[in-house]
Structures are given as C-alpha cells and as structure tokens.
Amino acid sequence: MAATLIVKETACLSAEDRCAVDEEIAADTGTLSGCGDRAVIAAVRAAAYRRDPGSVAKRAGHAISERTVTLRPAPDTMTRLTALLPVAQGVAVFAALTRNADTRRASGDERGKGQIMADELVQRVTGTPGGIAGIEIQLVMTDRTLFQGDSEPARLAGYGIVPAEWARKAILDQEPETSELTTWLRRLYTAPATGDLLAMDSKARLFPTGLRRYLQVRDDTCRTPYCDAPIRHHDHITPWHQHGPTTSTNGQGLCEACNHTKETSGWTTRTVPGPRHTVQLRTPTGHTYHSTAPPPPGTVLALPGHPTPLLTQPLPLLTQSRDKAEGTPPAHPPARKRRVALDA
C-alpha cells in the first residue's frame, strides 16, 4: 500500500527525481514504520517538494482547475452530493457547517450533528428551507399512485425509481416552511399495451421547452445503449441538416459525450418499429444496437402472442414541478396534456 501511495504522489516528478525520493524515504526503513496512509503521504509530498517544487506547484494548480460538483444515486431514495474543492475552500465550508451544527445542538436542537449539517447545506445552497425553489424536479407517477394510494412506483428524473409512498409524501406532505411553493401536475397519455407516449410536433430547429421536457420524461437517461448518464442534449435522430424534423419521434435525449460521438464519421441512427420509441444505432465498425424508451410507471405490457392495440387510450401520468407562487408558472403543456395546479 505504501508503495502505491509513493508512486501516486511522485507521478509529477521526473524519473531521476522519483528515484531520489525513493532513496530518501528508504534511507531509514524505520521512518514510516507504523505510520498510517496520511503520514506516508505527508512524508512523500515533503520529499517531492524538496526535489522539484515547481512541478509540485504546477500539479496543484492543475488540480484546482478540476474542481467540480457531482451527484450520484444512493440507496433508499438518497443521493450523494460531492464537491471537489481546493483545500482551503473545502475546509472553510466544513468548518462553517460544523460550527452552525454545534451552535444549534447547544440550543437544544434534537437532530443529529450530521443531519443539521446536511439540512443547513441544502438551505444555504438553494436559499429555501425545503431546498426546492423555482425548479422542476420531474416526478412521474400514475394517477392511481397519487390519488388512490396505489403501490406502483414512481420515477424521479436524474435518480430513478422511488417508492410510491415516498412520491406521495413529496407532493402532498409539504412542510409549512415550503408553503410558498406551488405543485403543478401535468397529464401525459400513453398507449395502454406499450406505454409509448404520444408525439408532439414542432417546426423549430431547436427543441422547444415543452418538447425537451417530453423527451426527458420519455427517455429518462441517455438513449445510447449501455450508457445511463443524465440527459444533457436533445438530439435529432435524423440530423436537421439532413431534413430531420424537430419532433418527439425524431428526438432523443443524450448525454454530452454520446451526442458529440454520434456526430463523428461512421455513426448513423434511425428510428425503427418497436414496442415503444426505438432507435437503431450503427457504429463505424458495422455493429448495430437498439435502444427502446423505458416504460413509464404503471405501464402494463402486452403479453407475447397478443396483438398490440391500434388505438391509444388515455393512461394519465403526472409530472410534478414546483415553482414559487409569486413567480411565473411553468409553460403551458402541449396539445392533449392538461395541467392542474394544487395548493402546496
């Protein structure tokens, strides 16, 4: 393990300087005896800095440019929000949250220290106690789940499947502190046997807001096979410059990397018949893959050997968004959708 740490901390040095660090560390074999990883890293960093301070400083400067924030799903309707920050900023953030938690605990707050820190982080970042202000969270569920206590799970865009009870509470059991938020319900319709969402047309080159929202609800994640990254781009399956229309049938949600890759030479895509919206992808090597939109919550798929109904019947699916009551409500949904506003 110590060897791995030494290699990692001296990667920015020249071969000659790496050998010099090895000799310095190995000169006294008892120096690192009984030391933990942090002590080993500290000793190696000090030795590396003495050999080539310029390279170490350059490496640190490059690391600062890679600061970022990421979000990953965790079990039981939880997520891991991670920030990669310069050390001074990271320590300052953690110290501020810790100091606030200690103060609240001393004042009688019964929450755990970690809970207080997490709640305070959400409130400081979003500016509201509930953590949702003027954004759409795209919670998709059946009307039976929302109004009739059905157990059919819901789907939260950017996370995945969530329990029905949790979805109902997220909409109906809002805390008093978030009373300035409004819950908007949009009705979507699916084919009863396939779960395919109805199409929406547009003559614009860029996908309008309503159609982008539709693609995100239908596709959930990047449509490229074996990629489940979040949707970042709304792509024309048949490119616009090849007279591809801006429609839900010719649209798909892709991550940024897959969309750029698709535009390179040798990649082709087209829609093909399928149980739901299906895209055929052909790679430069000649391999062919198919991507079918996932079934929305509550979809009852047709049994093998049974014909697919030709007529579609309304199976309402509800998407939730929250906006400040004093702000502008979400744009009107397209044809054959109905939006209902409920008091938060």
Tell me the CA distances in angstroms from 10 to 54, 67, 211, 280, 320, one per residue in order. 13, 21, 51, 47, 51
Torsion angle of alpha carbons 156, 159, 160, 165, nearest 10°? -50
pLDDT at 267: 92
Structural domain boundaries in the chain? 2-64, 68-126, 135-192+311-342, 201-292
The residues near 123 (Cβ < 8 Å, ≥ 6 apart) are 129, 131
For residue 309, what are the contacts with CB-CB under 8 A and spacing of at least 6? 191, 192, 193
DSSP, collapsed to helix, strand or coil, labels residue 88 as helix
Q: Which amino acid is at 67?
A: R
With CA atoms as reference, report the closest residue to 38 among 63, 67, 9, 58: 9
Residues in the chain where the model's pLDDT stays below 70: 1, 27-34, 129-137, 158, 173-205, 300-344
pLDDT confidence of residue 301? 63
pLDDT given at position 282: 93
Helix, strand, coil share of the chain (percent; to 5): 35, 20, 45
| Burial class (CB within 10 angstroms; exposed 0-12, middle 13-18, buried 19+) of 32 | middle
Q: Where are the beta strands (DSSP E) in the chain?
A: 68-74, 78-84, 135-142, 154-156, 160-162, 181-188, 201-202, 233-236, 246-247, 251-254, 268-272, 278-282, 288-292, 317-324, 339-342
The backbone torsions φ and ψ at residue 294, rounded to the nearest 5 degrees and listed phi first, read -70, 150
pLDDT for residue 222 = 93
How many angstroms separate the CA atoms of 91 and 164, rounded?
39
Burial class (CB in 10 A: 0-12, 13-18, 19+), 112: exposed
Six token digits for residue 53? 């301070």
pLDDT the model gives residue 5:
79
pLDDT at 63: 82
Residue 53 CA to residue 242 CA, distance in Å, equals 55
Q: pLDDT (tens digit, 9 = 90+) per residue, 308-319?
A: 443 333 444 444
- Burial tier of 297 (Cβ tally within 10 Å: 0-12, 13-18, 19+): buried
- Cβ 197 vs Cβ 188: under 8 Å: yes
If phi > 0 it is left, if psi is from -120 to 50 it is alpha, else beta; for residue 97 that is: alpha
Model pLDDT, residue 16:
84
The helix or strand, by DSSP H or E, that contains position 21, with its residue range, turns out to be: helix 15-26
> What pLDDT digit, counting tens, does each position of 150-181 carry?
888 888 876 778 888 888 887 776 655 544 55
Could you say which DSSP state residue 229 is in?
P
CA 56/CA 49 separation, integer angstroms: 6
* CB-neighbour burial class of residue 107 (10 A; exposed 0-12, middle 13-18, buried 19+): exposed
Tell me, what's the pLDDT at 312? 38
